[in-house]
Amino acid sequence: MEILIITGPPYSGKGTQCAILETSLGFKHISTGDRIRQEKEADTPFGRMVKSYEENGNLVPDEMMAGLIGQIIDEQLHEKGIILDGYPRTAAQVDTLLQLLAEKKLNVNKVINIEVPKEELLVRALKRAKESDRKDDQDPATHLKRIAIFEAQTRPAIQYMKEKLKVVDIDGLGTVEDITESIKTAIV
C-alpha cells in the first residue's frame, strides 16, 4: 500500500485536493477531521472525548490521535494506497506515524505541503463558513486560532518531516486545477 500525506494550513484546500487525487490515483482519502466528526456524530466514546478539543479550535492530543490513526490504517490495509489529510500535525505525531507504519512494513511515499499566505487563508475561511453548516467553522476567532496552532505546532512538524521524508512544497494560490497539476507532477 502506498501512502501520501497532504499537509498545509487550515483552509489551504487540502480536502479539495485530496478528493480530486482520490479519484485520479485510486487511493482512499483519509480525512482525520472527517473521521473525528463522524465519531462525534455517532456519539462514540472517542467522539465524546475529542468534542471539546475540536470545537475550541485545539488539536486532539497526540496519544488519542495515535490510537485513531492506527485503527484507520488497519481498516485500509486492502487499499492500493491512502492519502492522509490532517495527520500528522505535530512532530510527535510524525514519529508515531512512522513507528506505526514501520510495524506494518509500510512507508510514506511522499508528503505534499500546500503553502497559502495567511491573508488568503482568512478569506477562504470566511467563504467556507458561509457555504458550510459545520458548527466548528462559524466563529472567526476559531479561524485565527486554527491558523495560530498550525504555525506553532504543524509548521514545525512539516520542517521535521523534511528531515525524515520526501516533502514537496506546492504553491496553493491559483485555480484548483493548477494546484492539482502541480501536485500530480510532484508525486510522479
* Average pLDDT across the chain, whole number: 91
CA neighbor of 87 nearest in space, from 75, 105, 103, 72: 72
CATH code of domain 2-187: 3.40.50.300
Classified as helix, coil or strand, 125 is: helix
Classified as helix, coil or strand, 57 is: coil
The larger pLDDT score, comparing residue 109 to residue 50, is at: 109
Displacement of CA 11 from its chain's centroid (Å) = 11
- Tens of pLDDT, residue by residue over 29-72, are 999 888 888 998 999 999 988 887 767 767 678 888 888 899 99
Give whole-number Cα distances, 92 to 2, 44, 64, 88, 134, in Å. Answer: 22, 25, 12, 8, 28
What residue spans define the domains of the chain?
2-187
The model carries a pTM of 0.87
